[in-house]
Homo-oligomer: A and B are copies of this chain.
Amino acid sequence: MDTKELAARLAKGDRRAVAKAITLVENDGAGSSGLLRAIGPRLGHAFVVGVTGPPGTGKSSLVDRLTESYRKKGLKVGIVAIDPTSPITGGALLGDRVRMVDHTMDEGVYIRSMASRGWAGGLSGAVADVIQLLDAAGMDVVMVETVGIGQSDTDVVRVAHAVMVVLMPGLGDDVQASKAGLMEIGDVYVVNKADLPGADDMVVDLLAMARDFKGRNPSVLKVSAAKREGIDKVVDVLERIRGRFLSSPSEAGDAIRLKGIRGMITELARRRVLVDFEARADSRVEGLAEDVAKHGLTIDEAANSLLGSKGARVRPRKRTV
């Protein structure tokens, strides 16, 4: 199948074409740039929701419930689940998560697990590309769900049109301490497992903090994904933001749309910078560490030497048209 045919099938929402296209961009295979160029004019329909928050708060169950609710409205949903990479196989650990099996027979739902890099995570380099493919395949909403530990949680904030932060009562001091930081990133705060003690206090707390952030007006909602309570309200809030997004051209719509585009550009470029840096650093840091250990070079000087090395200019990815 050539790039044009693949793009055409993708545009019809052909599931096998979607799978094939994702594999192509994940491997950065021949034709991947061409495919992304071919679908370019079709993009801008899918509304991207980043789902993040600490581990154990029930993000996956919530994404499942939201998907049910979106499907009832007749919307097509793409789910990108970022999994920690297995250090043994190098592949995603959970595969297509067991909990999501309810949706796998539904033609209106496309689920893809992607491996993050190591425990550290970070979105797989291809997430921004996969979002574009799901957009081209006609998804109305794409939810990108992180595992809640590591860099992927940050990165998803960049590429999303709306960010949903999932919390639960009783998360302990560490999360309490992070809450102010969390207030910077979310458009919707969901307190899941709302039947646990402390849920109401948490909502009150979050609302108070939200008020301190001038110019932002995030929603705070209490849900129980397990009991299917409060789910439709979350979708209502997200749908309001999607409504603004779809209203483009308009000031509010353009702002959301451009934020997502800026995030995807930056995310792709930043990842290439880091991959490039790490490839260069790996080969030279050994010798510099020896110089520090034995010959009185300071760590500060060694870091500068690493930066000043030849090839410091990052080269764009090669085109394969």
Contacts and interface: CB of A to CB of B under 8 A. Distances in A.
A87 B154 CA distance: 15
A6 interface: no
Greatest chain B CB density within 10 A among A87, A257, A312 is at A87
A212 B86 CA distance: 12
Interface stretch (A71-79, A101-109, A173-181): A173-181
B178 A298 contact: no
A115 to B, nearest CB: 10
Contact of A181 (B84, B153, B174, B290): B84
A278 B273 CA distance: 11
A215 interface: no
B315 A307 contact: yes
A41 B194 CA distance: 56
A33 B299 CA distance: 10
A270 interface: yes
Contacts of A33: 298, 300
A285 B121 CA distance: 24
Contacts of A305: 316
A163 to B, nearest CB: 11
B36 A300 contact: yes
A259 to B, nearest CB: 8
Interface residues of A, number: 94
Interface stretch (A144-152, A200-208, A239-247): A144-152
A94 B185 CA distance: 20
A290 B258 contact: yes
A301 B94 CA distance: 32
A227 interface: no
Interface in A288-321: 288-290, 292-293, 296-308, 312-317
Given A274-B274, A289-B258, A296 B265 contact: no
Contacts of A172: 55-58
Greatest chain B CB density within 10 A among A33, A36, A285 is at A285
Contact of A87 (B55, B171, B184, B277): B184
A1 interface: no
Interface in A207-229: 212-213
Given A119-B182, A265-B292, 16 more contacts: A44-B293, A55-B171, A86-B181, A87-B181, A119-B154, A120-B153, A120-B157, A129-B300, A150-B154, A258-B289, A258-B290, A261-B302, A266-B281, A272-B303, A272-B307, A312-B313
Give the top 8 A-B pairs by smallest Cβ distance, nearest first: A56-B172, A119-B181, A120-B154, A304-B316, A55-B174, A268-B303, A84-B181, A269-B303
5 contacts: A33-B300, A40-B298, A119-B184, A258-B293, A307-B314
